[in-house]
A and B are shown apart, each in its own frame.
Chain A
Amino acid sequence: MSDAHDKLLNYINGELLTDPTRRAAPDTPLFEDGGIDSLKILKLIAFVELMIGRNIPDEEIVMKNFRTVTMIVEHFGSK
C-alpha cells in the first residue's frame, strides 16, 4: 500500500467516517452506505486536491474515479 493510500485512509477514517462501526479499507466502496454526505464529499475532494497539488474539475468527480481509496489513488496519483 502506498503512502498516498495511507494518507487518504487515515483522513477518511479519522475525519470523515465519524461512526466507529464504519471503517474504510483500500477497496471499501465509499459511497454505498451513506457515510459520505454532501459536506464530507467537499472535504474529501479538498483533501485529494491538496494531496495531488491541483484542482479537480467537476467532470472528473465520477464514480469510476472515486468508488474506493484505491481507485482515487490510481486515477489521481499523488503530487
Chain B
Amino acid sequence: MTTTRKTGIDDPMTELLRQHEWVSAGCETVLGPRMLALVDWVDSKVVEFAIKAGASELLVSRLIDRSVLERAGYFESFPASVVEESDGGCIPPATCYHCYAKLAATSLPEPSILTCIARCRRNEGKEESGRLRAFTMREIVFVGSAAWVRERREEWMARILAFAQSLPLAVQLDAATDSFFAGGEARGRKLLQQIKGLKFELRAQMDTKNTPLAISSFNLHETFFSRRFGLRLADGTDAHSGCVAFGLERWALALALTLGANQAFRLVEQEHR
C-alpha cells in the first residue's frame, strides 16, 4: 500500500472541502457547523478582549439605512459595492457604520469604545480564496481625542498580533490602503492614507500559492466620520475615530489552513470541556 504523506498547506483545504465545512455554492460560500463554531470561537475571544478594554457591546439590526451610508460618504469612495435589499435598507458593507449612526449628534463626555457584529456584503470584483462577498465582521470602534484614538489603535495592533501569533497563525502587520478608491482623486486619497499611516492590515498566509489575505484591519479615520455624524468632544471640537475590524470567516479559514482543519476545530472543543 502506498501512503501519501501530507505536504504543504493545501491539504487542510482539501480536508475542509471533504468534510463539507467550506462549500462553494455559485457565488456564495457556505460554512459547515464546525467552521461556524470556529467563527464563533474567534468572535468570543475578540469580545473578551473588547469587554476587558472597556467596550460597550451594541446589538444592531440586519440592515442599515441607506441614508446612514450616504451620510458616511460611503458611495463617494466605494460606488457600486453596496447591496440594497429593500426600500432604503442596505446590507451593511462594514459593521462600524452602525456605531456612528448610534453616536450621531452626541457630545461625548468621555472617550467611547463600542463593539458590534454584523453580516456584511460587498460586491467586490476580486475573486480569490477567502474573499467572500457575504461575511461576518466584528468591529471595535473608538471615538475620542486624536491622541487617545491613535493609542487605542496601537494597543489593539499589538494585542491582536500577539493573539494571532499565539494560535499560531503565520501573520504579518503591514501598512495598507483601501484598494477600491475610484474617481479623479483616487490616487491622492490612497497616498494620503498611506503617508499618514491610517490603515494597517494583519495578513495571514493562507497557503503557499496565494499572497497573504487580510484578516483584520486597524484604521484611523481622523475626523472623517465625526464631521459627518456630528460627534464632538466635551470641549466642542470634532472627535477623532478609529476602528479595528475582524473578518471572522477569514480568521477561521486561516486557522483551519494553518493548523489543519481538525486541529483548528479542537480549539473550540477544548473550550467546551
In contact, B188 and A58 (Cβ under 8 angstroms): no
Give A17 Cβ to nearest chain B Cβ, in Å.
Answer: 15
Type the 1/0 row for A5-27, where 1 means its CB is closer than 8 Å to any CB of B. Answer: 00000000000000000000000
Report the Cα distance A75→B95, complex, angstroms.
40
Asked whether any CB of chain B lies closer than 8 Å to the CB of A2, the reply is no
A39–B175 Cα gap in the complex (Å)? 21
B195 near A42: Cβ-Cβ < 8 Å = no
> Could you tell me if B194 and A58 are in contact, using CB atoms closer than 8 angstroms?
yes
Interface residues of B in 220-267 (CB under 8 A from A): 222-223
Count of A-B residue pairs with CB < 8 Å:
38
- A63's partner among B189, B190, B196, B222 (CB-CB below 8 A) is B196
User: Once bound together, how far apart are the Cα atoms of A7 and B190, in whole Å?
Assistant: 26
Instruction: Say yes or no for A62: interface residue by CB 8 A criterion.
Output: yes
Q: Are B191 and A34 in contact (CB under 8 A)?
A: no
Once A34-B222, A38-B185, A39-B185 are accepted as A-B contacts, the answer to whether A63 and B197 lie under 8 Å apart by CB is yes
Whether A38 lies near B192 (C-beta < 8 A) is: yes
Among A38, A61, A63: residue with most chain B CB under 10 A: A38
Minimal beta-carbon separation of A46 from chain B (angstroms): 11
* 13 sample A-B contacts, Cβ–Cβ < 8 Å, listed by A number: A31-B192, A38-B188, A38-B192, A39-B185, A39-B188, A40-B188, A42-B185, A58-B190, A58-B191, A61-B194, A61-B195, A62-B194, A63-B195
